[in-house]
Amino acid sequence: MNMKRDLLSAFDMKDDLEDIVDLAISLKKRRYDYDPVLSRHILGMIFEKPSTRTRVSLETAIEQLGGHAIYLNPNDMQIGRGETVADTARVLSRFVDFISYRAHSSENVAELARNATVPVINALDNKEHPVQIVADFMTMKEKFGKLQALKLAYVGDGNNMANSLIAGAAILGMNVSVAAPPGHKPDSSIMQRSKDLAKKKSTSVEILDQPEDAVANADAVYTDVWVSMGEEAEKKEKEKQFAGYQINDSLMAKANKNAIFMHCLPAHRGLEVSASVIDGPKSVVFDQAENRLHTAKAILLTLHKSRSRGQ
């Protein structure tokens, strides 16, 4: 019986997110000392949007674990000529052992997973970016030695990154404060589910208007681009709306003394973050980027182990 597991949302790691983080930390410590446990395993990678960290980390991860990746541009596939997502899932499942999908639509990611018989990894969609947050929480645990009861402040657009970070923080027993301008708040359903989880753990999830309020006493201050992929037409308008939400030295000074600055990259210096912050001593953005490799391996191994148990 095939008990395949998918990673479509942060909530899909509700029971083992910190275990995956800890596995990634252990893999990092023995970067070139591991068994090729995914020998002969193939990862099919469908990317509808550009990617640097997600693509390279996943390709490198499966290669280091003994497998191989196939990059699939929709323009070179029949899906680009009208083949359904469901049929694409059924066909690829006959060829590969994992599918990662960077999609414009979360509905398409869910449709692919429903029809695939191999594990599906959400490599970013319009609603969430679950693989990124594993690296983010790994970086926090490396810096602070723990995750529980830390305060994460997110300032900026309530986008897919914000959604996954809020859910992940709630799962891990962290406090999270988000400052976003009106009309750009995180997804309401994710917020409610995260608040319900936080209540059980006696932590908090709050949405605020002022960045200063969100950042107060934070251990980690996080931001993302104001204009996400596909929103380029809204660039000038969004920059006006977000003008007061830049992470700069004065805002970072309101966080805890040992607070770190985080960004999933790519970053735009002078917009969502000042150069003095992202290139300063509190910045851990390139640690986050490196940790994408180790967490990609941990995710692949976790999904593989889950599937193996079901066979």
Please report the domains of the chain, with CATH numbers, ordered by start residue.
10-128+292-310 (3.40.50.1370), 130-288 (3.40.50.1370)
DSSP type of residue 13:
G
Q: Catalytic residue among 6, 53, 64, 132, which?
A: 132
Q: Is 157 a catalytic residue?
A: no
Annotated catalytic residue: which of 41, 53, 102, 263? 102
Which alpha helices (H) appear in the chain, and where do they start and end? 17-29, 53-64, 85-93, 106-115, 130-144, 160-172, 188-200, 211-215, 235-241, 249-252, 275-278, 285-310
Q: Which of 224, 263, 288, 294 is flagged as catalytic?
A: 224
Q: What tens digit of pLDDT does each residue of 10-60 get?
A: 999 999 999 999 999 999 998 877 779 999 999 999 999 999 999 999 999
Concerning whether 55 is annotated as a catalytic residue, the answer is: no
Q: State residue 45 phi and psi, 5-degree precision.
A: -120, 105
User: Of 236, 274, 271, 277, nearest to 255 (Cα)?
Assistant: 277
224-264 confidence digits (pLDDT tens):
999 877 778 788 888 999 999 999 999 999 999 999 999 99
Whether the predicted pLDDT of 310 surpasses 60 = no
Q: Identify whether 249 is a catalytic site residue.
A: no
- The arithmetic mean of pLDDT across residues 294-311, rounded, is 86
Q: Is the pLDDT score of 270 beyond 60?
A: yes
Whether 102 is a known active-site residue: answer yes
Query: In a 10 Å sphere around its CB, with 0-12 CB exposed, 13-18 middle and 19+ buried, how is residue 75 labelled?
Result: exposed
Cβ(247)–Cβ(282) below 8 Å: no
Q: How confident is the model at residue 2, as a pLDDT?
A: 57
Pairing, β 205-208 against β 42-47: unpaired
Specify the residue for token string 């409610």. 192
Asked if the model's pLDDT at residue 309 lies above 70, the reply is no
Report the SS3 class of residue 116. Answer: coil
Three-state helix/strand/coil letters over 154-197: EECCCCHHHHHHHHHHHHHCCEEEEECCCCCCCCHHHHHHHHHH
* Residue from 6, 41, 264, 307 carrying the catalytic annotation: 264
- This prediction's pTM: 0.96
Judge whether 214 and 153 are in contact, CB under 8 Å: yes
Give the HSE-up count for residue 23: Cα atoms under 13 Å, Cβ half-sphere: 18
| pLDDT tens digits along 186-210 | 999 999 999 999 999 999 999 999 9
- Annotated catalytic residue 187: no
- What mean pLDDT do residues 56-68 have? 97
Q: For residue 40, indicate whether it is catalytic.
A: no
Q: Which of 41, 64, 97, 129 is catalytic?
A: 129
Given the residues 41, 292, 304, 307, select the one marked as catalytic: 292
